[in-house]
Structure 1
Amino acid sequence: MDDKVVSGDEKIRALYRVLVAKEFSSSPRRRAFLRYIVEEEIAGRGHLIKEYSIAVDAYREDPEFDSAAKSNIRVQARRVREALANYYASAGASDPVRIVVPVGSYNPKFLLAAEEATAPQRPPSAEIEADAPQAPEPSAPPADTTEIDAAKTLAAHIPPEKQRSPPRRHRYAWAMLVVLCFAAVVSIMATDREIEASAVRLPETGLPRISVERTVFGGPNTGSSSRDLAFAEGLKTRLGIYGTLVITDQAASERAPDFRVKLTSLDPLGERDVIAVNVLNKDGVLIFSAKEGLSDVGENESLGSVAQIAATIAGLNGPVYQHVMNHNPSPSIVCMTRAAASLRHPDGESLAELENCLADAARQPDFEDLATDFLGRLLLREYMWGFQSISGEPILTRAERLAVHALTERSQPFIGLPLLAETYQFQGREAEALTLADTALSKYKDVPSILCRVGRIRMVSGQIADGVALIRRCLRSDPSPPNWVRFYLFLDAFTRDDAVAAAAYADSIHMDDQPRGVLAKIIVAHSRGDESAVAACDKRLHERFPEVARDLEGALTRSRFPAPIRRKLAKALKASGAVSASKLVIDE
């Protein structure tokens, strides 16, 4: 059947059913490949998927990758097709929607399984995937309305004066019976809703609860055992940093965790110590799986693989929250995921809407810190986009107040340090900003979001090489970095006059979701002599980011880039002929 009849939600559910299957759960590269092409197709960009975009955006390869890398992409595509075929021939045989990657294309298709006339023959004991869409079961079988409809039809043909009213005493009895039946139905429906919600919905005031369990650890190999334990403790610590999960001890907790991380040492006696990381929901359904080799990691060294897995599991776009979002999430969790998505890839949602949502979420104790963090970062983004105040209060003043509150009142350096450092930099307090950034980096040296944000602060202060190194470390660990990261890699290539790399970064997906990315596209389009692309990008700047387009000079000043970089950007933009750059003044 035509895939146009398959909704976006159905496509997402089909994706997640496949990702947790054994054919994909053991291969991060297959998961990354399939997730990328499906998400791009849902976003309407399926026809733009190329080997280059898969390598750069899905696998985080260097934009200057060679033809051998292209061959690897084709090999991986073949493996994905084989894995899909194996899955749908076995565990996924009854899936309602199937994902197909046609040979010669990377744009996936979605096919509805043929409806069977013998559907009632399905065994009642058949297992249903936790993430699969399930039709709600009626609390009682529907009543047979044949006689009622016939009576109504007959009554319609009887003149009103000949229709007999029931005796008065009977009217009262019927009225009482109707009231009692209505009350009983409402009670049953309410009970059903409560039972259904308790099975899948997290408490309104709570974050998802997760436990970390060590199984089959240890053995005669003392070195392997110590590394396994270090991995487990490191993962538990890092999961708690983000503030998105409540880390709980399953044995000591009164309430069962919503999710469990099971760590298994697969080869404690061999030359290569391997740990399997499996995340299961409360029903025991696997929602995420990965394997990590620890043979080259010392007992006291920072475990980079731990940081990467923790970022994946705890992320608001990671497997835990994707699962929660598919199971009747609370309004606070919906708000957090909306804010996180907007920070990664701005979608035009207004700050006022997100601010109201975050204000409501902040009233829930578990969400106050996350709400503070997201609101502060959204405020700084608005400042970069040309807005100076919100509700009469200067944006930078409000952001500073939120950061200080996080540090002093909430004792949350993970939130307060980078937010205050970024605010100070926009205020021109460079030395204080760098000191705070360095403090944040020393405390959270392998947390991807800290690496990206401190890298940006250092680049803006003129420490280009150090900043780029941190951002590249962030990209190696973050499964879904914010789109502004690509602009700073473009900026590095641009300042080094590396036109090829600059063009590759400017062409990155989602680059034009931010004003700086649009400016990068204008510069590259002009260098290619593509004036129509310059005009199209300039139009997008005026339509999507009018404050920046009206005052490009002010936007460059607010960026706080060193004077030589601002001057070079201004010259390139002025030379492009873009209308928004016509008023730029170039200081020699």
Structure 2
Amino acid sequence: MTGEEDAMQPSVPTPDNRAERPCPTHEEVRAQLKRILSSREFPSAGRGAAFLKYVTEETLAGRAQRLKAYSIAIEVFHRSASFSQEDPVVRIEAGRLRRVIERYYLIAGQRDPIRIDIPKGGYVPTFTRNDAPIEAAGDALNEDVTEAPAFAWRRLAWPVLAVLVAFVCAGLGYYAGVLTGPATGRSAGQVPGEPTLVIAPFADLGDGPQAARYTAGLTEELLTALPRFKEITVFGRETSKALPPGVEASQVREGLGARYLLAGGVRVAGDKVRVTVRLVDTSNGSILWSQDYDENLDTHELFFIQTDVASKVATAIAQPYGIIAKSMAANPPPDDVGVHDCTLRYYAYREELNSEAHLIARDCLQNAVARFPAYATAWSMLSIIHLDEGRFEFNPQSDKGPAMERALGSARRAVSLEPDNTRALQALMTALFFNNETKEAFDVGEEALAANPNDTEFLGELGTRVAFSGQWKRGAELLDRAIKLNPGGAGYYFGTRALIACMLDEHEMAVRLIRKADLQKFPLFHGVAAVIYSEAGLLAEARREGEVFMKMRPDYLPNIVAENRKRNLPPKDSTRMIAALRRAGLPVPSATDVEAEFRVSDAAYGR
């Protein structure tokens, strides 16, 4: 057999890597394909069968390397050679398909001999025997993430296109298994679908070419700003451009399957510009949010206006605590298999910061990454959960190894899966910071800030880390921006900002902000409040908060130098906080003991 012929065959396990579970034969693959396509639990309309048969036969013939979005669009859907790969429609619908496959194997296919799974990053399936054990995630992924699929829209008269596209993607995965070795198990490489958003071209409501230029530029800016938020998926430029400005929400829902539609219009009259924006839930046509933006062309250039408006819109609707997140929390999609709920539980925990919410979020996220091991956002959130186990002593798992190391490992996995994911970069920055790698931490933080300067969850975290490193003024600037963009955000924004104000001798502001934070179940809130009240001269309130803190974290004050060191507080700032607690009559080490402990601590850290 020639080398080329050998490369065309399915991979065969060697005696040391699952010889007892040989790869499915070509006949078994074809039989399973027929079984799935004929099932009541699988869509049966449209060109799905022809699509699936094509990619399967191409793979079995050794031509799986040809199965890219471009070739599939041309050879199966008969698109022209000008087909653009910029649009993510096929990728989005492949996410839906992953849920359809999972549902099929939970209901009709439980006893099927062969599994078909679709790893993230490509459109080729992996084929494994149904009794194969779940293995470690990510090792056998064919991460062709840049292969962004596209679908050139001609009209919106196909009422079941979303189901069709999801269905016809079903066979895309065998090549990954052939090239990379044994399959990774039931759901390895899969990621859950995220909330989907379509941006319709903004309507030109004014006279003359200036309004037309503005509408085109604003739509383009929105298509750049919104995809930076990784908790949502945004349809690409080709899809957006093919939609009419006044497209109906029902047409978007039926034609694309997108949950949300962003639309609006621009009116230019003389030197005045008004932009009207609305976010629509396509399931029922309701307007979830709308806003008018008025600008003066004499004051700002056109480019600045459209960039500024796009930034404000993206932040309002797509940030972790924004309009879409609130909508999903109130009305989760009927096909949600529970993974998106984990992100909601995570953000609920971040708002509360208590042990009970931490445990709920941790259990949910651990299940999520087991089911969807290529889901970078879930790994990112789990990293922060591990981190909080270590720094806050929430639900410690002493048998799992050091929490800080687990946090760093999960963060690195998230970044390896999706290098531009803001939540992954946030997790890596924070984990590095608490693993005493502050320079690398801030390098990562600046990279993420440049990539998405409007993510308030990240801004709050970066501002906190910068402040605790002793850069209180820069920390204040970052926290102020986070609060301005998300005034109803998590309480820890205000708690950290209160401490920053205290360290900058803005005591009135510090007291006001710490009272606004009100994180009664979060132990460190009471410790920070005690410092702030003491610095403001409110010693009775400081002592009261300190006593609550001691009950919740009895180990902290006796070891306060080491605890503050873990948070990378400079010695002078740590000494100042300890002195504030001492003034309130709390049992902290003496000034002499603090200096001695700092010398020991510096030696231990190599400083």
**Secondary structure in 1 aligned to 2:525?**
helix
> In the TM superposition, what whole-angstrom CA distance separates every residue of 1:320-377 from its partner, at most 9, and x where no partner exists?
3333333355322222111112113324425343222012233565982221121122
- 1:23-65 CA-to-partner distances (Å, cap 9, x unmatched) read xxxxxxxxxxxxxxxxxxxxxxxxxxxxxxxxxxxxxxxxxxx
How far did 1:303 drift?
2.9
The structure 2 residue matched to 1:318, chosen from 317, 322, 335, is 322
Q: Which residue in the other structure is 1:281 paired with?
A: 281
Check whether the contact 1:339–1:374 (CA below 8 A) recurs between aligned residues: yes
Residue-by-residue CA offset, 1:148-171 (whole Å, 9 max, x unaligned)? xxxxxxxxxxxxxxxxxxxxxxxx
Match of 2:529 among 512, 517, 521: 521
Conservation of the 8 A alpha-carbon contact between 2:204 and 2:265 = yes
CA gap of 1:564–1:528, structure 2 versus 1, over 3 A, is: closer
1:438 aligns with 2:425: no
Q: Classify 1:319/1:497 alpha carbon distance in 2 versus 1 (closer, same or farther; 3 Å).
A: closer
Structure 1 pair 431–211 and aligned structure 2 pair: CA distance change class (3 A): same
The match for 1:377 is 384
For normalisation by structure 1, the TM-score amounts to: 0.59
Letter in 1 for 2:315: A
Corresponding position of 2:311: 307
Distance 1:335 1:473 in 2: 27
The unaligned stretches of length 5 or more in structure 1 are: 1-197, 199-203
2:528 maps to a residue whose letter is A
Alignment partner for residue 215 of structure 2, among 220, 228, 238? 228
Counterpart for residue 508 of structure 2:
500
Q: Does 1:480 align with 2:488?
A: yes
* Cα 1:215–1:434 shift into 2, 3 Å: closer
> What's the CA shift string for 1:203-248, capped at 9, x where partnerless?
x942222211124227545444434333322223332222222212
SS in 2 for 1:568: helix
Q: Which amino acid aligns with 1:236?
A: L
Matches within 5 A, 1:308-347: 308-329=312-333, 330=336, 331-347=338-354
Match of 1:258 in 2: 259
**How far did 1:516 drift?**
3.5
1:460 and 1:523 map into 2 onto residues whose CA distance is 15
Answer yes or no: is the 8 Å Cα contact 2:207–2:269 preserved in 1: yes
Structure 1: distance between partners of 2:481 and 2:542 = 32
Which piece of structure 1 moves more, 218-227 or 368-377?
A: 218-227
Are positions 1:293 and 2:294 aligned together?
A: yes
User: What is the aligned partner in structure 2 of residue 421 from structure 1?
Assistant: 429
Query: SS of the residue aligned with 1:462?
Result: coil
Distance 1:297 1:338, change over 3 A: farther
RMSD: 3.2
**Equivalences for residues 5-20 of structure 1 within 5 A:** none
1:155-234 alignment runs, 5 A limit: 205-217=192-204, 219-234=206-221
- For the residues of structure 1 that align with 2:276 and 2:533, how far apart are their CA atoms? 46
User: What is the TM-score with the length of structure 2 in the denominator?
Assistant: 0.57
Alignment size in residue pairs: 384
Unaligned runs of at least 5 residues, structure 2: 1-162, 164-190, 244-251, 597-607
Distance 1:535 1:316 in 2: 36
* Percentage of matched positions with identical amino acids: 16
> Contact 1:221/1:269 (CA < 8 Å) preserved in 2?
no
Q: 1:300 to 1:365 in 2, by over 3 A?
A: farther
Equivalent residue in structure 1 for 2:517, among 504, 509, 513: 509
Distance change >3 Å, CA 532–CA 457, structure 1 → 2: closer
Three-state SS of the structure 2 residue aligned to 1:262 is: strand
The alignment status of 1:360 with 2:367, answered yes or no, reads yes
Deviation track 1:385-430 (CA, whole Å, cap 9, x = no partner) reads 1467654321221121122212223334423333222222222222
CA shift at 1:487, angstroms?
Answer: 3.0
Contact 2:433-2:441 at 8 Å conserved across structures: yes
| AA in 1 matched with 2:280 | L
Q: Once the 2 structures are TM-superposed, how far is the Cα of residue 572 of structure 1 from its aligned partner? A: 0.3
Once the two structures are overlaid, the 10-residue window that deviates more, 404-413 or 465-474, is: 404-413
